[in-house]
């Protein structure tokens, strides 16, 4: 009965009313009976245990849910009505331990293992970027994935603070090392900001990761860059990771490690729309830090991108369920 998966309309109940779930979708716990009907699960990982600089992303899912009640039904550019084409639900937050990184990584992977076994495609709201690692540990059980990664940083650092290996600057270094990502099918878009020593870029080059710096994106334009990105990942199963700090900090100030000179939300929308029809097996939107933007403007950008990601995922999800 897909009707029950439709969000409450703002023409009926004002957007500011009601308990806030992601995009006003029904809220289900993973152990409820209905969960087997879900195609796409919107999940929060309220965690910033990997943050080396300014914390606060643990509050991301709450604020993202709040602002997401301003999302309506239809994508105006593509005409896609994602909630009609797939059963989407808010599956709540993973139960994290804010004071213990390794314990939380296990909890995240356990949660996503269950999603995989239920055939649910996850759309994750962070949380800091370290969460992508335990998510990939669950999603890549069937083999290494490709990835399209929007970010101002590579997140390919070796470690911090005397060799500590699990921070929000290291998830994809670890993911490559653990065989969760196929580096030759990884594209990073929007990279910029001052560098420590460039060792992360060396790692990218040595492993075949394609890094598209902001200057290249600005010079070539989003269409050309996305054509290349699509060519690199081809028909592989891919993960899409969108760090809100990829967007210029004037448009998304609520994040812990901003870098000036980023691309616009309009560019972001166009790029994510160009992901349509790729074989996306999961996506995340990370690093929204509400204490750094109590206005909610950054979270509004975040959920607007989540909606675009959702629309981009729909065709592949639909294909699988109609197959």
Q: Report 140-159 residues binding a second copy (CB under 8 A).
A: 157
Taking the complex as a whole, how short is the minimal distance between the CB of residue 323 and a second copy, in angstroms?
28
Spatial distance between the Cα atoms of 230 and 276, rounded to a whole number of angstroms: 10
Q: Which residues of 83-103 are buried (b: 16+ CB within 10 A; e: fewer)?
A: bebbbbbbbbbbebeeeebee
Taking the complex as a whole, how short is the minimal distance between the CB of residue 136 and a second copy, in angstroms?
19
Spatial distance between the Cα atoms of 171 and 159, rounded to a whole number of angstroms: 10
Contacting residue, 215, 221, 224, 234, with a second copy by CB under 8 A: 215
Spatial distance between the Cα atoms of 261 and 23, rounded to a whole number of angstroms: 30
85 binding a second copy? (CB under 8 A):
no
Contacting residue, 6, 30, 37, 72, with a second copy by CB under 8 A: 72
58 binding a second copy? (CB under 8 A):
yes
224 binding a second copy? (CB under 8 A):
no
21 binding a second copy? (CB under 8 A):
yes
Please identify, among the stretches 16-24, 176-184, 202-210, 224-232, the one whose residues bind a second copy according to the rule CB under 8 A: 16-24
Site string for a second copy, 267-296 (x = CB under 8 A): -xx---------------------xxxxx-
210 binding a second copy? (CB under 8 A):
no
Taking the complex as a whole, how short is the minimal distance between the CB of residue 315 and a second copy, in angstroms?
18
- Quick check: helix, strand or coil at residue 146? strand
Q: Which has the closest alpha carbon to 60: 313, 309, 303, 288? A: 288
Q: What is the dihedral sign for C-alpha 170, 173, 179, 185?
A: positive
Residues 157-186 that bind a second copy (CB under 8 A): 157, 160-162, 164, 166-167
Q: Which is nearer to a second copy, 18 or 119 (CB)?
A: 18
Q: Which is nearer to a second copy, 49 or 146 (CB)?
A: 49
Q: Which is nearer to a second copy, 103 or 143 (CB)?
A: 103
Q: Which has the closest alpha carbon to 73: 64, 81, 62? A: 81
Spatial distance between the Cα atoms of 284 and 137, rounded to a whole number of angstroms: 14
Radius of gyration of the chain (CA): 18
Contacting residue, 265, 276, 315, 318, with a second copy by CB under 8 A: 265
Q: Which is nearer to a second copy, 145 or 292 (CB)?
A: 292
Q: Can you tell me which residue has the tokens 């331990």?
A: 97
Spatial distance between the Cα atoms of 154 and 181, rounded to a whole number of angstroms: 14
């Amino acid at each position: 009965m897909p009707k029950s998966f439709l969000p409450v309309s703002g023409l009926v109940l004002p957007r500011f009313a009601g308990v806030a779930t992601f995009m006003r979708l029904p809220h289900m716990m993973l152990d409820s009976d209905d969960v087997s009907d879900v195609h796409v699960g919107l999940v929060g990982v309220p965690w910033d245990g990997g943050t080396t600089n300014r914390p606060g992303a643990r509050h991301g899912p709450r604020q993202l849910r709040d602002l997401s009640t301003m999302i309506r039904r239809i994508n105006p550019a593509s005409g896609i009505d994602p909630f009609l084409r797939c059963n989407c639900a808010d599956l709540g937050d993973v139960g994290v331990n804010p004071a213990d990184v390794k314990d939380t990584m296990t909890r995240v992977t356990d949660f996503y293992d269950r999603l995989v076994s239920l055939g649910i495609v996850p759309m994750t709201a962070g949380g800091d970027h370290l969460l992508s690692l335990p998510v990939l540990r669950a999603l890549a059980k069937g083999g290494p994935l490709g990835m399209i990664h929007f970010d101002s940083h590579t997140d390919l650092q070796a470690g911090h603070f005397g060799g500590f290996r699990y921070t929000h600057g290291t998830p994809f270094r670890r993911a490559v090392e653990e065989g969760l990502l196929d580096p030759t099918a990884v594209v990073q878009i929007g990279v910029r900001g001052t560098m420590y020593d460039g060792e992360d870029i060396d790692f990218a080059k040595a492993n075949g990761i394609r890094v598209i710096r902001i200057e290249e994106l600005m010079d070539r334009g989003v269409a050309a860059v996305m054509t290349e990105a699509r060519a690199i990942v081809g028909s592989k199963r891919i993960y899409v990771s969108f760090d809100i700090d990829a967007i210029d900090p004037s448009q998304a100030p609520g994040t812990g490690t901003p870098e000036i000179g980023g691309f616009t939300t309009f560019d972001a929308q166009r790029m994510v729309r160009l992901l349509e029809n790729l074989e996306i097996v999961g996506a995340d939107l990370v690093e929204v830090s509400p204490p750094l933007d109590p206005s909610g403007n950054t979270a509004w950008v975040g959920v607007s991108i989540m909606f675009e990601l959702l629309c981009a995922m729909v065709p592949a999800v639909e294909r699988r369920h109609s197959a």
